[in-house]
Structure 1
Amino acid sequence: MTPAPPEVWGVARYGNPCAECGWSWPAAEEAVEFVEGVADEFAHALAGRDGGTRHPDHGWTVAGYVAHVGENLRQWAERLVEAVAGQERLVDAYDPDALGRARGYDRIGAAGALWSLRGSASAWGEVLRDALLHDVVLQHATRGEQRAADVAGNNAHDAFHHLHDVRRALGLTGRSVPRGLRSGTVALRPSTPDDADAVTAWLADPAVHRWWGGRPLSREEVLAKYCGAREPDVTVFVVEVADRPAGVLQVCQDADRPGRGGVDLFLAAAEQGRGTGPAAARLLATHLLRRGWTSVTADPAQENVRAIAAWRRAGFVPTGATGEDDGHRTVLLEFRPG
């Protein structure tokens, strides 16, 4: 009997980007980093919302999707651990719906599902890095050969795809925004009220507020604008360099055109001119496109030649369009990686 051909999976099945969720498959290390932080993304989506919510097109509640992602990661991690140890490399297929019924996905709560996912994602990340180092190759019962890099990409897509499902079920419009990113010494983390004093001090410097509002802001104004109060319409990140707060980067999604949006950036005066701005902007814009965003733009003041040069170093190119903001004539640039 001729063996059945391997099940079509990964990019071959879903497309790149995925036709349903918009995910673009990254390099293995970036896939691992995404999975390690995915519990925060689910927690952010579920904050203040009912984990028992179910979309009419979906079989599971939103908490059930969180539970599934955690269990899928744990099962793949178990097989990779065995393979690294020189033991079993065969991965059996399983029915996620049957597992969901056995585990009671309809009754599981968000808190328990998130707790489980955090543990699974952390352990999975440690195991995946080890498996990549050892060039592990698994043999899936229906998909055939699965390299460690394939597992990283496919598991990351599964997690993001179900984050997309959860956001859809909860009525969260637009594309998701990362809850934290890092590349080398530059990192982005969502701002909090604890950042108000630092941001207020940065904006008190004329070298900063000249191009950012034209005046210093009070602490109350900073709390209202740059410390998380405008979520989900505007996500504000603190830019860190070697874990040192250095500035602010924000992203605003176009309400009328989901998947399109703009980014703005300012750095403390002492942090300018070190390449931090371009690195931070490129880091965020790259990951937004990976999540299915279709356009990321910036609109610096036309007279701010230094800022325009920095945006261009980040990969933003002039579109020819102009506008006005805070009394300045602006130029529109769009991120075009490559």
Structure 2
Amino acid sequence: MPQEYQLRRVTASDLPLLRRWRRMPHVIEWWGPPEVEPEEDKLADRRIAMWLVELVGRPFAFAQDYDPHAWSPHPFSHLPPGARGIDQYIGEPQMLGCGHGAAFVREHCNRLFAADAPVIGTDPHPDNTRAIRAYQKAGFSVASEPQETRWGRAILMERWRHR
């Protein structure tokens, strides 16, 4: 049976939940300590759209999308205008390893494509094989060798709307 994921905008009232998730070891492993890019700062940054991902009305994951051309330099600056970058994590540990990551990422991408994004990029750490597999299942292809970015070591992955 297909799952229905709802993405809703993060509000200030969601910050305690996001802070709790950011302190969890499985999130810290790939996102770094909670004081790196705190949610309060990102919520105030108009360049970033922040989302809570819900399943049956229950939040379990965080997603964000952004215009990579709003930062210079950015690893996705080679992408055409209208491109979006995405980042996400599953906050609730019991939801890991169940296929939710690939499914909600696919849904998020479909929403961005419907809003005319020509391509979407994501940049997992090369050692984060779980994320890389989920992105591949969601339609992404590896577009680079591992590289150092200002946000850490990453491989670039892209999903094009019409390819």
Give the TM-score category using the shorter length: 0.7 to 0.9
2:117 aligned with 1:293, yes or no? yes
Contact 1:186/1:276, CA 8 A, preserved across alignment = no
RCO higher in 1 or 2 (8 Å CA, sep ≥ 6)? 2
2:47 aligned with 1:224, yes or no? no
What is the Cα deviation at residue 221 of structure 1?
Answer: 2.9
CA RMSD of aligned residues (A): 2.4
Contact 1:241/1:276, CA 8 A, preserved across alignment = no
Letter in 2 for 1:202: W
Letter in 2 for 1:323: Q
Contact 2:50/2:62, CA 8 A, preserved across alignment = yes
SS at 2:63's partner residue? strand
Contact 1:204/1:217, CA 8 A, preserved across alignment = no
Alignment correspondent of 2:23: 204
2:63 aligned with 1:239, yes or no? no
Contact 1:190/1:235, CA 8 A, preserved across alignment = yes
**Which one of 305, 308, 329 corresponds to residue 153 of structure 2?**
329
**Structure 2 matches for 1:145-156, cutoff 5 A?**
none
What is the Cα deviation at residue 197 of structure 1?
Answer: 0.7
Query: Which segments of 5 or more consecutive residues in structure 2 lack a partner in the other structure?
Result: 71-79
Using the size of structure 1 for normalisation, the TM-score is 0.41
Using the size of structure 2 for normalisation, the TM-score is 0.82
The structure with the largest alpha-carbon Rg is: 1
Identity percentage over the alignment? Answer: 28
1:265-324 alpha-carbon deviations (Å, 9 max, x no partner): 111123211222111111111222222211101100001111101111111111135433
Flag as ranges the 4+ runs of structure 1 deviating above 6 A: none
Letter in 2 for 1:282: R
Give 1 or 2: higher strand fraction.
2
Count of residue pairs the alignment pairs up: 151
How far apart in 2 are the matches of 1:221 and 1:299?
19
Query: Which segments of 5 or more consecutive residues in structure 1 lack a partner in the other structure?
Result: 1-182
